[in-house]
Amino acid sequence: MTTSNSLVYLIALPLLGATILLLAGRRADKWGHILGTLMSASSFAVGLYQLSQMLGRTNEARPVTQKLFEWISVGTFNVDAGLLLDQLSICFVLLITGVGTLIHIYSISYMSHDHDRRRFFAYLNLFIAAMLLLVLGNSYLNLYVGWEGVGLASYLLIGFWNHKPAYATASKKAFVMNRIGDMGLSFAIMIAFATIGTVSFEGIKEHAHHTSTGALTAIGIMLLVAATGKSAQFPLQAWLGDAMAGPTPVSALIHAATMVTAGVYLITRSNFIFDAAPTAQLLVVIVGAITLLFGALIGTAKDDIKKALAASTMSQIGYMILGAGLGPVGYAFAIMHLLTHGFFKAGMFLGAGSVMHGMNDEVNMRKYGALRKFMPITFVTFGLGYLAILGVPPFAGFYSKDMIIETAFNAGGIKGIILGTVTLLGAGITAFYMTRVMILTFTGKSRWDDEAHPHESPLLMWLPMAILAIGSVSSGFLLSRGDALVNWLAPLFEHHGEHKELLSPIVVSGLALAMVAIGVAIAFLKYSRQEVAAVAPEDVSVFTKIARQDLMQDRFNEAVFMRPGQQLTQVLVKTDEAVIDGAVRGVGQLAMGSGSILRGLQSGFVRSYAALILVGASLLIAAIWVVTK
């Protein structure tokens, strides 16, 4: 395998940026944002350089490794801190650093009034470094470090405005729910070590063939738990909506384009495990299918523009997870949807940020309306993202989402029909709620508060939006032309030649477009033809009420986990106080008591010390005499 010494710079540059910005403190306030952006951009440049190098090599020689140092060496357990850049991770590297840099640029302007802007950029850099470590680690343990790192950065950024208690709570919620997923990852690593004896991707791939299916299934399920936590999938999805408390660029970068897709990366990276563990793979598909509907349904009832987009993110990642669960045929499409989604969703979030910027940070779409005249650029870029997510040809989503729907239908048997229907239904609902967002925000009559003076955002903000919009338009076409991405990723996955078609691609596209048309039409009838209330109406159906409450996800968590958990904790605390603390205190008192008594030996008189030595020497002789007897 090719080795390279320059991989580390990908991570080192943003990490250096974060370190400098955090250590320099207020002194860096003047130039911190520029340094942060430059560090992210240089990392992107290194990524492009690596891509150009990679393109010049043959398929087999494309993966590049770099050993950093020997990290852990205990008995038979050896882990090197090493990096691996292959066809899969380069996609992520470019997405993270590319979209990351655009969002850095956007944030320069967006955060310009925040006196903690430097700290914000420090955290952004930290996030970029951790996320790159996540996708570049060559073993699950290295990945785990990045995994925790992005969790930390996400926590810090969601709670960036932590002077508001609700925001601090949101970041805590995200952190705690992520911990459950993280626990899954650590279990997966432990099981892998216990049964296979290694935790490196390469090592596990080699040994996967002669490892028991039971062990692989266990690892796969634990990895899935990890993925559901980080990617906000059912049943660990509840944190993503609250995570919108963070500044909007954070929502765009972390909670739409990159971090939340880490679960898809994890499953795709672990293809050798899931391919050999059909049960785990089936669970992946089920989780993806449930989440894609779940997220879409929540999206229909949200009045908060960011929460509507967050629900949509959840749903779109559901598509990716579903795609990744369909095995070798699905991995590449999952990644393609991930990349196109990275463009259009980040673009739409930035658009939402731009709207909020012009509307005094108002997030309630019922207080928007008619903004297209005042924010033409935002309207156009957001609109292009909208067309992309709907899957209208030739925009990006058409290529990537249709492929997943098609693959779902072709999964075979009743499974294929169920999955295909679910994905089609999801596409329809997506069209409905996204159209709703468009109409409420940009068209109709204005329903603003009196003090709102909507205006277009400055260049530094609309430029990244425009670039992302170009991606929303063209990325799907470029990535699927001549199966470019599929062929690019093909060497990493094992292929099982058979490929049966239930429905031809044309039929699938036709069905999908029909569903989209229905969704759009309903939204038009409901929101464009009728007056929209500036205050959310209360006399709505029970379904809307449930959807507004995120399909009861928080109540469910509270009833099933929180309250029994609290009771369990109380019992444990009492036990701890009575039994364990009691024992510890007892031992402590015993130790203190004996310590005080023994201390009496220390009289301060040199004669007693000498006597002690003499006694000791005599005891030694006596002991030896006993031994020799």
Partner 1 sequence: MVFSAPVLNYTLLSPMLILLGGALIGVLVEAFMSKALRPITQLSVTLGSLVLALVQVWRIRNEQSMTAAMGSVVIDGPAVLLQASILIISIISVFLIADTEHFTALAASLPGSEEERHAMQTGSQVTEVYPLTLFAVAGMLLFPVSSDLITLFVALEMLSLPLYLMAGLSRRRRLASQESALKYFLLGAFSSAFFLFGAAFLYGYSASVTFAGIRESVVGGGGNDVFLLIGIAFLSVGLLFKVGAVPFHAWSPDVYQGSPTPVTAFMAAATKVAAFGAMLRIYYTSFANAQWSWTPMLTVIAIVTMLFGSLVAIAQRDVKRMLAYSSIAHAGFLLSGVIALNKAGLEASIFYLFAYGIATVGGFAIVTLVRDSAGEVTDLNRWKGLGKRSPWVAAAFAGFLLSFAGIPLTSGFIGKFSIFSAAYESGAKSIVIAGVLSSAIAAFFYIRVIVLMFFTDPVEDGTSVEIPSALTSITVIFSMVVTIALGVFPAPVLNFISDLATFIR
Residues that bind partner 1 (CB under 8 A): 69-73, 588, 591-592, 594-596, 598-599, 601-602, 604, 606, 608-610, 612-613, 615-617, 619-621, 623-625, 627-628
The pair phi, psi for residue 504, each rounded to 5°, is -75, 155
CB contact at 8 A, 118 and 34: no
Shortest distance, position 81 Cβ to partner 1, whole Å: 9
Smallest gap from Cβ 12 to partner 1, in A, equals 17
**Nearest residue (CB) to partner 1, 506 versus 597:** 597
**Biggest CA pair distance of the chain:** 107
Residue 559 or 619 having the CB closest to partner 1:
619
> Tokens standing for 387?
């067309």
* Closest listed residue to residue 390, CA positions, set 290, 234, 275, 509: 509
Q: Least CB distance from residue 47 to partner 1, whole Å?
A: 28
DSSP at 64: E
Shortest Cβ 623–partner 1 spacing (Å): 5
Q: Of 69 and 499, which has the nearer Cβ to partner 1?
A: 69
Are the CB atoms for 410 and 501 separated by under 8 Å? yes
Q: Which residues pair with 73 in a beta bridge?
A: 78
Nearer to partner 1, 530 or 596 (CB): 596
Query: What's the closest the beta carbon of residue 474 comes to partner 1, in angstroms?
Result: 46
SS3 70: strand
Residue 576 Cβ vs partner 1, minimum distance, rounded to whole Å: 17
User: C-beta of 143: minimal distance to partner 1 in Å?
Assistant: 19
Bridge partners (DSSP) of residue 77 are: 74
Could you tell me which of 118, 84, 93 has the C-alpha nearest to residue 40? Answer: 93
Nearest to 289 by CA among 262, 324, 259, 329: 324
Task: Please state the closest distance from residue 23 (CB atom) to partner 1, in A.
Answer: 14
Residue 263's nearest CA partner among 236, 294, 244 is 236
Residues 6+ apart with CB under 8 A from 525: none
570 vs 618, which CB is nearer to partner 1?
A: 618
Q: How far is the CB of 592 from partner 1 (least distance, A)?
A: 5
* Minimum separation from the CB atom of position 584 to partner 1 (A): 9
- Between residues 5 and 596, which has the closer beta carbon with respect to partner 1? 596
**Strand-by-strand arrangement of the 77-85 sheet:** 2-3, 64-74, 77-85
Query: 64-74 and 77-85 as β-strands: parallel, antiparallel, unpaired?
Result: antiparallel
Q: Radius of gyration (Cα) for the chain, nearest Å?
A: 28
* 309 vs 298: CA distance, rounded Å: 10
Closer residue to partner 1, CB minimum distance, 73 or 575: 73
Terminal Cα distance for the chain, rounded: 66
Closest CA to 468 of 575, 568, 589, 382: 382
- Of 506 and 627, CB closest to partner 1: 627
> CB-wise, 459 or 621, nearer to partner 1?
621
Least distance from partner 1 to the Cβ atom of residue 601, Å: 7
Q: How many CB atoms lie within 10 A of CB 532?
A: 20
Considering only CA atoms, which of 312, 318, 317 is closest in space to residue 296? 312
For partner 1, give the closer residue by CB, 575 or 608: 608
Measured over the CA atoms of residue 113, residue 115, residue 118 and residue 122, the dihedral's sign is negative
Q: How far is the C-alpha of 353 from the C-alpha of 501, rounded, in Å?
A: 42
Nearer to partner 1, 210 or 605 (CB): 605
